[in-house]
Amino acid sequence: MNALSPLSPDAPDRAPFVAIVGATGAVGVELVRCLEARRFPFSGLRLLASARSAGRVMQVNGAPVPVEELTEASFEGVDIAFFSAGAKISRHFAPRAIAAGAVVIDNSSAFRMDPSVPLVVPEANGEALTGAPRLIANPNCVAAIATVALAPLHRNWTITRLNMVTYQSASGAGWAAMEELRHATAAALAGEDYAPQVLPHPYAFNLFSHNAEVDPETGYNGEELKVIAETRRILGRASLPIGVTCVRVPVLRAHSIALSVRFEGYVTPEQVREALTGAPGVRLVDDRVANHFPMPSEASGEGDVLVGRIRSDLGDPTGRTVALFVSGDQLLKGAALNAVQIAEALPARVPA
């Protein structure tokens, strides 16, 4: 097993040895970039992927790092393992990584609803990391982005009902979907036909219900059911009434969400705006005069969740409901950045 020399410019002698499973995927690439950008201290880095990706070379802090094939022995000497290769891979290899001594931060859906595994957005429920857990679940991208904005409101005024409509980017379906959007758009602009290969419907200049499988009984798709269950877990409200409609839109990498939030008592938009000002992970974009509110074009590449369009919901005459609009980078706060922030918040990043 190759042991990479320290690459982090800030790596102390006992900085953790890090592994990334699924290093060549869209989230894996962003994980590497986040480690670099945040100068996360690590003593070594192991990039792991499938056999077909093994041998590729990725640049990390200016140094070439070869991609290795993921095997049973891949976690020897690893202190922190980031997983972003799908639930099946996580279920098989995460227990092996833990047995080898690693803390696992998993980006798949494999463990998110396991009550023994904390589901964490550091700005929303970072206290779930107390006790030094060995396995931490990274939430669904919509739940992560939404709860950054919802958590400070829930702390101030208990949320009693939540409704959301999502506008989800291609990045949520991976590199292949992002490429399909690029190619389909180019074909449409050229007046050419383009047959969808990754997603079930034409993508250019179109939007459609999220492509997750629909439950025939409830009519909700798998993405919507994930968002409901995970938002409840993160906010600590197991029975919170939540309605959600998830839509795939022709945007490359930032998700947007229209939220209608009902509270126990009367809350004004001004109070909501004040609570969100300076909240961790939130940047207000709420200029009514200029009609400037959160947009995916401005959220892309940003670590903060953009929040705006804050106003009373006129559908609730009691004044207990506030509407807002948020936008966040699906590959960053919705995945890679959140995972790295979890690692930064761990009580002890290296086992004693």
Pick the CATH number of 143-330 from 3.40.50.1820, 3.90.950.20, 3.40.1400.10, 3.30.360.10: 3.30.360.10
292 counts as catalytic? no
Q: Is the pLDDT of residue 1 over 60?
A: no
Torsion of Cα atoms, 175 then 181 then 186 then 188, to 10°: 160
* Ranges of each domain in the chain: 17-139+336-345, 143-330
List the CATH code of the domain at 17-139+336-345.
3.40.50.720
| Measured distance CA(104)–CA(142) in Å, rounded | 21
Rounded CA separation 279/339 (Å): 19
User: pLDDT digit string (tens) for 232-256?
Assistant: 999 999 999 999 999 999 999 999 9
Q: What is the tens place of the pLDDT at every residue in 143-201?
A: 999 999 999 999 999 999 999 999 999 999 999 999 999 999 999 999 999 999 999 99
Which residue's structure tokens are 């047995």? 99
Exactly one of 34, 92, 141, 246 is catalytic; name it: 141
The reported pLDDT for the residue numbered 4 is 43
Helix 141-156 to helix 222-235 angle, to the nearest 10 degrees?
Answer: 40
**pLDDT tens-place string over residues 282-337:** 999 999 999 999 999 999 999 999 999 999 999 999 999 999 999 999 999 999 99
State the pairing for strand pair 57-60/63-69. antiparallel
Per the listing, tokens 């904390």 go with 118
Q: Choosing from 154, 210, 246, 255, which is the catalytic residue?
A: 255
Would you mind telling me the total number of residues written for the chain in this entry? Answer: 352
Q: What is the mean pLDDT of residues 96-107?
A: 97
Q: What are phi and psi of 43, to 5 degrees?
A: -90, -15
Q: Name the burial class of residue 251, with classes exposed (0-12), middle (13-18) and buried (19+) by CB atoms within 10 angstroms of its CB.
A: buried
CB 218 within 8 A of CB 137: no
Residue 172: name the closest of 136, 229, 211 by CA: 211
**141 catalytic per annotation:** yes
pLDDT-based confidence at residue 14 (cuts at 50, 70, 90) = confident
Residue 3 has pLDDT above 60, yes or no: no
pLDDT (0 to 100) of residue 2:
41
